[in-house]
Structures are given as C-alpha cells and as structure tokens.
Structure 1
C-alpha cells in the first residue's frame, strides 16, 4: 500500500526542508516525492543542502519529480489528503485527526497523495478544494505550527504503523481526481444555471457540495452516473425552454 502513496510538497522554499522530508519518508517506507513549483534554490537539480539532510534517503531525492501545478502532481490519483493546521470557515472535505487518516487511505485501490503546503502559509482555499480528506495534527495552542518535515513525519508514521499492523481493510475503487473535478465543474455550472446560487455565493455553495460528495467516496461509475444526470437535466430544461 505504501508504494502507492505519493508525498506532494507545494512550492517548497527551503532545500534543507526538502532533504529532511526525504529522510522522514524513508524512515517510514514512503519513497515517492513530488514538488510543485519549487523555489529555484531548491531545484531541480536538487540543491546540495537538500542532500545534507537526506541522510540515507538520497534515493528519494534522486527520484523526486518536479511539476508546475498541483493538478499535475495529482494526475492519476484516486484519493487526495490535504494537510493543514489553519482553521478555516468551511473545509471542502471531511476533517480528521492524523491518526484517523490511515483508515481512509489504506483501503483505497489506487494512487493516494498526501499534500503539504508552503512553509509560510500552507495551502490556499483553491488547493484545498482538490482534497477529498483534510488531515490535521492537534498541537498545543501556545505553538500550533509545525516544521514541514515534522508534519510529514507524523503522517508517515501513522500510515506506516497502520500498514505494519495489517490495518488495510476491504479495497475501495474510487474515482480519479480528474473525473471528480470534471463532475464538480458540471455541477458548478448547473447550480448557477438553475438559480440554486448566484456568482457571489457560488464558491461557498460549491465547498459545501464538495464536502457532501467527498463523504460519499464516489466510484468511477457513480461519477459517470451523476454527470449523466446533470447533462440530461440540462438537456431537458433547454428542450422545454425551446417549446412553443
């Protein structure tokens, strides 16, 4: 299972943080690292400072993949777990503490991405919209923020512990990110066309709808069915409007 998990760092700024992440991954059986739009001083090619901290994990860096966008890093992924410590008014996906993440991840048949935000301010709302699950690490209120590598090591440890204990469960075939995003685009247009919401409230409405559908853990067939329902409903409305 752990071989199907990719760790995604969004716009990392410090090469030593990337090296420390690689070491944390190696400690707990993770090997696939993706970097979204890394700072020039990070690489590629990866800075020597990253290798300084990637003790016995140089191979993770050697095989790391740099991409331009988060969507590129999530290509082919079936479950996206975003990590955050910042309170938000509304998350677009169910929120669970880090120790509950493995029970959502391990049964998935297919690719899983653990997404970590920038060292300075984490993930944007638009990036969180791509998540199917949000994982958090409870911390003391006096010092709530964690270093990037510290956050990675906590999530990696919980996954490793659960996988080593055989906590896999029955396999789930979930829809890929691309198919889900296509459905959400259709749904977003539909709720505007039907007057369910207006452009001002549209982002809020979509985050609430995303949360509902992510709880359902949609399969490829279910996504196809829902998109067909929206298309047929739109066709029926257009046909009715065109009648004399």
Structure 2
C-alpha cells in the first residue's frame, strides 16, 4: 500500500488540495503529522472536491516516528544540494524515476511531504529512505505544497491505479484495415496527380513511417480520406 503523509501543514487548504490530487490519481490513504484543524465547513473540505467524501475524512493522524519506523519512506524536497558530500539530500530521484524504482516493491510505502515554507528538515530527511525532487526552473524551483504533491502523484499514478483505470491509448488508433486503405488511396492519388512513378515507392515508405508514428484515430483517417477524394475530384475536373 502507498500512503501519502503530510507533515505539519500550516493551511487546511493545502491538505484539501492534496486529498483531491490523491483522489484524482488513485491514492486513498492519507496520514497527517501535526495537522491544522480540519473543519468540515472550512478550506480543507472546500478544496478537496470529491475527496471530501472518503480520502479526507478517513485521514489518520500519526507521529513522524511511526512513519519512519514502519514504512519505506520517500521524502519530497525542492532543495537538493547536488553534491555527494552532502548526502542528506543526495542522491535524489525525480518523480518519474521514482515511479520506476517503486514498481513491484512489496512493502508499505509512505510519500512524505513537508511544510509550506521550509519543507522537511534535514533531521527529518536523514531518517527517510529515499529523496525525491521535482525538476523546476533554477530561477524559481520552489513549488507550493499542494502543487508539489499534485505533480508527484500524477507521475506516480501507475502505482495506485490498476490498468483498467489508466487511459488506453491504443484503442484510439484507427483499425489497421482502414489505415491500409488510406495508404492505397494515397498511392492512387499520387498516380492521379501525375506524381513521378520512380519516386512513388520512396514516398509511400515515407508516408507509412509518418502515419505509423502518428497513430491516427478513426476520425483523422476519415478526414484524410476526404482530403484525398477532394484532390482526386479536382484532378478529374481540370
């Protein structure tokens, strides 16, 4: 199980924002260390969206020591000190790299986010197992607590959502017979407009590679057929 732990949040709104992001990306277990008051008529529940129905009211208040001792812990920080001599915050992983690291880990994992102004302290980070940082502009690398959690949970969504909940990109690609029919029509159009015969095989390979990378949808292929029909019609009417 993967838990999201928020340490010493100052504003209820950020707790609600994190609960909402958890709901968005399939996470359910929220743990709070020294949380602010979470009034059901206040910001936390106002910002939580549908997470006000389950994630937020089910949140458990815990001690930091309890988390450090019982979970594989990942601390999130903006300041990384990219120097192997300062190993409290180094080495660190990006959220995308962390997603790969945690695939198949058979233990309870805690994703630990710190305070709005100062994040997790060096003492807290020293007790955690891994460090994760979100790549951002060097001019302003610090994210709001709610934003940081949302970005991280998005990258880690594959750990919390089963395959049936994840978008299936493959089903958006048009059926192969329709794509093949498009290639045939494209070649017919080349012939109709007088495209040089010697260039047609190379051009068709180029078109096949281009369309192969694009993964067109049914609607896109239908539209392209319409364009080719218009070209053929215009050619006949010349």
TM-score bin (small chain): 0.5 to 0.7
Structure 2 stretches lacking a partner, 5+ long: 164-238
Aligned with 2:155 (options 158, 178, 201): 158
Structure (1 or 2) with the larger CA radius of gyration: 2
Distance 2:141 2:10 in 1: 20
Aligned with 1:146 (options 143, 151, 167): 143
* 1:34/1:73 contact within 8 Å kept: no
In the alignment, structure 1 residue 52 sits paired with structure 2 residue 52: no
TM-score calculated relative to the size of structure 1: 0.60
SS of 1:52's equivalent?
A: helix
1:187 is matched with: none
1:63 is matched with: 58
Distance 1:91 1:47 in 2: 43
1:91 is matched with: 87
User: Which protein has greater RCO, CA pairs closer than 8 Å, 6+ apart?
Assistant: 1
* 2:113/2:145 contact within 8 Å kept: yes
Aligned with 1:76 (options 70, 75, 89): 70
Residues matched between the structures, number:
158
Moved over 6 A (4+): none
Deviations 1:67-123 (A, max 9, x none): 2x311234531x211110113361346311121001221221010000111101011
2:222 is matched with: none
Aligned with 2:34 (options 32, 37, 40): 37
1:25 is matched with: 22
Q: CA RMSD in A?
A: 2.0
Shift of 1:44: 5.1
